[in-house]
Amino acid sequence: MAMKTPIVYSEKCLGYGSWHIEGPQRIRKAHEVLAQKGYKFLEPQPASDDDLMAVHDVDYIWNVKKGLVDDQDTPAYDNIFDYAKLSAGAACLAANMKGFSLMRPPGHHAGRSGAALGSTTRGFCYINNIAVAVRALDKATLILDVDGHHGNGTQEIFQDDPKVWYVSVHRHPHYPGTGTVTSGNCINYSLPADCGEHVYLQTLDKALREIDLEKFEAVAVSAGFDTHSGDLASLGLTESSYRQIGRKIASLGMPTFFVLEGGYRGDKNGLDIDQLLKGFEEKP
Ligand SMILES: [Zn+2]
């Protein structure tokens, strides 16, 4: 029997923002569901300042540290730098252990120095967790972003990077408004709201067919679940859609890790993550 993917998790990530849609419930409940299903959990350590500086401008990191990064989506909570560092460290541990980081805050809208590619907000993100993990891993990596929003921060960070490609399937028109065109190593597919599983999976297949897998040593998945029907960036997917996405990721045949991005209902997140990982572990 295949080993279950380890989940990287610390209950410390529940300590802020209980009034916000990006709140602790989205992780707390998912953790409960996954614990019940028998997953094993690994406790993360914070990322180092050097790890963060490999991705973000030093002035921006300093501003996060001082709490000077408030925008209308993304509050400057007390001690948010510590939460963001731990979430980034969890992504690094997931990269090393081929695991799934179940942590917050999310990261893919955070660009080099904050809001990315002309967006006016950081969309609940402070530090780009998956970017920190990919840089620390230092391998030729394909980043696959299946969150319902375009990862404008990740694209900004890796645009024209010789070692890292970025592929995203997301909803448009929608926040943050970017990702309408493919540009060099950043391949974007936008889909209309609630397009449904069939169109989604066809599009994901098409996106993955364009990739020359020979180039890569690892796959990093920005795993967002707000594509679920009724969630913030719904593409009309259901629990079983995530199982099929997991199979498609497994068919790439690469060492793979996952980092949670969006997904705003905890009970649903837990079931969707379980399905994604089951599909991934089935290896078609
Ligand atoms: Zn999202």
Burial environment of residue 259 by CB neighbours within 10 A (0 to 12, 13 to 18, 19 or more): buried
Phi, psi of 72 (to 5 degrees): -70, -20
pLDDT value of residue 60? 98
- How many whole angstroms from 146 Cα to the centroid of ligand 1? 9
Read off the pLDDT of residues 124-175 as tens digits, 9 standing for 90 and up: 999 999 999 999 999 999 999 999 999 999 999 999 999 999 999 999 999 9
Ligand 1 centroid to 218 CA: how many Å? 23
Q: Measured in Å, how far apart are the chain's first and last C-alpha atoms?
A: 14
Q: For the chain, how many residues are written?
A: 284
How many Å lie between the centroid of ligand 1 and the Cα of residue 116? Answer: 15
162 alpha carbon to ligand 1 midpoint, in Å? 26
* Position 2 confidence tier, pLDDT thresholds 50, 70, 90: low
Which CA distances in Å does 201 have to 206, 235, 256, 274? 9, 11, 19, 18
Nearest to 139 by CA among 161, 156, 154: 161
**Active site positions, annotated:** 109
pLDDT > 90? residue 284:
no
pLDDT confidence of residue 1: 46
Taking the C-alpha atoms of residue 243 and residue 240, their distance in angstroms, rounded to an integer, is: 5
Backbone angles phi, psi at 125, to 5 degrees: -110, 150
Structure confidence at residue 266 (pLDDT)? 87
- What's the distance, CA 89 to chain centroid? 14
DSSP string, 60-112: HHHHHHHT----SSS---TTHHHHHHHHHHHHHHHHHHT-EE--SS--TTEET
Here the tokens at position 184 are 């060099």
Task: Give the global pTM.
Answer: 0.98
Structure tokens at 238: 């259901």
164-171 and 141-145 strand pairing: parallel
**Mean pLDDT along residues 203-209:** 96
261 CA to centre of ligand 1 in angstroms: 6
Ligand 1 centre from 262 Cα, in Å? 4
Crossing angle of helices 58-66 and 80-97, in 10° steps, is 120
Q: If you measure from the C-alpha of residue 127 to the centroid of ligand 1, how many angstroms do you get, rounded to a whole number?
A: 15
Average of per-residue pLDDT across 270-274: 98
